[in-house]
Amino acid sequence: MLIFLGPAGIPISAKKAGTTDGIRKVMELGLGAMEVEFTHGIQMRNELAKEVGRVSKETGVKLSVHAPYFVNLASAEPQKIKASKVRILQSCERATYMGASPVVFHPGFYGNYTPQETYEIIKQGVLDIIDRVKEKGWKTKIALETTGKPSQFGSLEEITLLLEEIGTKNCTLCLDFAHLWARHQGKVDYNAVMEKVKGLKLTQLHTHFSQIQYTQKGERNHLTFQDTVKNPPVEDVCKAILASKQDITIISESPVLEVDSLKMKQIFKKLGHRF
């Protein structure tokens, strides 16, 4: 079983560095993954993406990409859906040059649509993106992230159903453990979650993890392992992951990024996993 741990973005211990130096820092720390964050827009040129890919290959650090937050494939406004697709596709282009996969995004909001209507709209959007990625010959998967608010499309059930329907060759999920905790108000059986995901037969499971604060409306903000709110329980999640025996990438979305990745690595070691 392979476990890759790393930060969502450039490590805070190298915060003035660029992406390539950030990757080298991840390797120096003894971590194995990094998610390149395009969350507020895509500024990276293809030339830099190629250099990032070269450094990733040189260091062995596994890369993924987070597309911009401004994505809603179920918007009532067609121009917003179009703009959302452009952002995801631009992320896929850079990811291909970086040798990164998957490209993670938040699918959308229910708005005034029913959950079933939203599902169908997002499914068509995803299929269109897959077709355009194929047309361009880009070598990356897209990943729908489980979301942390009941107003958002992105329950585990919705995403697994979508993947069962369209297949996992070009599309996968990003399982966000903290978002599930917030969405379901702390009522989560992670062993059952891992068993459900195992049914998708993914070669590599991509995930996000942090502690999280939530309200009745769901996710509020991400927390560090040092915060007094211990949601979700880290060791329980680690035990469920090990019991599943699935190869997995775990990206830390903690405010202290790699600090909590390293703490999680120690928990896995304590539970008997060898890196």
What six digits make up the tokens of 5? 């741990």
Residue 275 maps to a domain: no
Tell me the residue range of the domain where 64 lies: 3-270
Residue 176 maps to a domain: yes
**Would you say 246 and 198 are in contact if contact means Cβ atoms under 8 Å apart?**
yes
What was the pLDDT predicted at 95? 97
In the block, tokens 């080298």 appear at 24
Question: How many degrees, rounded to 5, is the angle at CA 36 between CA 61 and CA 101?
Answer: 65
Q: Is the dihedral of CA 26, 29, 31, 32 positive or negative?
A: positive
Question: Pick from 82, 85, 87, 53: which is nearest to 67 by CA?
Answer: 87
**How many H helices and E strands in the chain?**
9, 12
Q: What percent of the chain has pLDDT over 90?
A: 88
| CATH number of the domain bearing residue 187 | 3.20.20.150
What was the pLDDT predicted at 146? 96
What was the pLDDT predicted at 233? 87
Could you tell me how many residues make up the chain?
A: 275
What was the pLDDT predicted at 248? 97
* Cα(25)–Cα(123) distance, integer angstroms: 38
Residue 131 maps to a domain: yes
Residue 166 maps to a domain: yes
189, pLDDT greater than 90: yes
For 140-160, b where at least 16 C-beta lie within 10 A, e where not — what string? Answer: bbbbbbbbbbbebbbbbebbb
Residue 57 maps to a domain: yes
Residues 91-108 have pLDDT tens digits of 999 999 999 999 999 999
Question: Pick from 102, 177, 154: which is nearest to 133 by CA?
Answer: 102
Average pLDDT value for the chain: 94
Residue 216 maps to a domain: yes
Averaged over 1-25, what is the pLDDT?
93
In the block, tokens 């450094």 appear at 55
Residues 26-85 have pLDDT tens digits of 999 999 999 999 988 898 999 999 999 999 999 999 999 999 999 999 999 999 999 999
Taking the whole predicted model, whether its pTM rises above 0.75 is answered as yes
Residues 136-166 have pLDDT tens digits of 999 999 999 999 999 999 999 999 999 999 9
What was the pLDDT predicted at 15? 73
**Helix residue ranges per DSSP H, the chain:** 19-28, 46-59, 78-98, 115-136, 156-166, 177-183, 190-198, 234-244, 258-270
What was the pLDDT predicted at 231? 79
The pLDDT-based confidence of 114 (bands split at 50, 70, 90) is: very high
Domain count, the chain: 1
123, pLDDT greater than 90: yes
Question: Pick from 164, 125, 134, 160: which is nearest to 145 by CA?
Answer: 160
What was the pLDDT predicted at 216? 87
Residue 180 maps to a domain: yes
Residue 157 maps to a domain: yes
Residues 214-267 have pLDDT tens digits of 888 888 889 999 876 777 889 999 999 999 999 999 999 999 999 999 999 999
